[in-house]
Every structure is written in C-alpha cells, then in structure tokens.
Amino acid sequence: MAKKEKSFEESLLRLKEISEKLEGSEVGLDDSIKLYEEGVKLAKECYTTLSEAELKIKELKSELEIDSD
C-alpha cells in the first residue's frame, strides 16, 4: 500500500472497515492486534483533525470572470 496521507473521509472509511473485520471471526490473532493498533492510530488522528478544525470561508469574486456567456 502506498504510504500517502489519508484524507479524513478515507480514514473514517478505513476505520469502518477495521471495525467490521474485528467484529467478524475470520481475522487471526496477529492481524487483529495489527488492525487494532492501526485503528487506534486512525481514530486518534480523525478525532484530533475534527476537534481542531476551524471553519474556512472564502468569497468567490465573480466580477473577475463574468461576461463569459
């Protein structure tokens, strides 16, 4: 897997995936511990991202682009 920064949405999706795997019975001992650790890390990241987020507002200046039609 590429080591790339996950987006918030990707992290949440992965977290969901991990939850479902841990709920199922197919996963082995080693894997379950690995998944658990990955999940804890992701959950912490998501939590921090969300609780530290500050709303960004940008105004689109339409004057610059009018009269194109």
Partner 1 sequence: MDLFTQEENILSVSEITNSVKRVLEKSFKGIKIVGEISNFKAHFSGHWYFTLKDANAQISCTMWKGNNTRVRFTPEDGMKIIVSGNISVYPPRGSYQIDVRAMKAAGVGELQAAFERLKQSLSDEGLFDVKNKKAITRLPKKIGIVTAIDSAAFRDMVSVAERRFPLVELIVASSRVQGDGAAENISRNIKLLDKLGNIDTIIVGRGGGSLEDLWAFNEEIVARTIYDAKTPIVSGVGHEIDFTIADFAADLRAPTPTASMELATPNQEDILNYITDFFSNSSTNVNSIITNFKDEIFGITNSYGFKSHDFIINNNMQTLDNYLFRIENGVNQKFLKSKNELSVLSNSIESYNIEKILERGFALVEQNCKKITRAKDFDSSKKTKIKFYDNEIEIE
Angle between helix axes 29-52 and 8-23 (nearest 10 degrees) is 150
User: What CA–CA distance (Å, rounded) separates 53 from 68?
Assistant: 36
Q: How far is the CB of 66 from partner 1 (least distance, A)?
A: 7
Phi and psi angles of residue 26, each rounded to the nearest 5 degrees, phi first? -80, -20
- Our CB check for partner 1 shows the closer of 1 and 29 to be 29
Which residues, in sequence order, are CB contacts of 38 under 8 Å at separation 6+? 14, 18
- Our CB check for partner 1 shows the closer of 2 and 48 to be 48
Q: How far is the CB of 31 from partner 1 (least distance, A)?
A: 9
- Chain residues in the site for partner 1 (CB under 8 A): 7-9, 12, 15, 18-19, 22-23, 27, 29, 32-33, 36-37, 39-40, 43-44, 46-47, 49-51, 53-60, 62, 65-66, 69
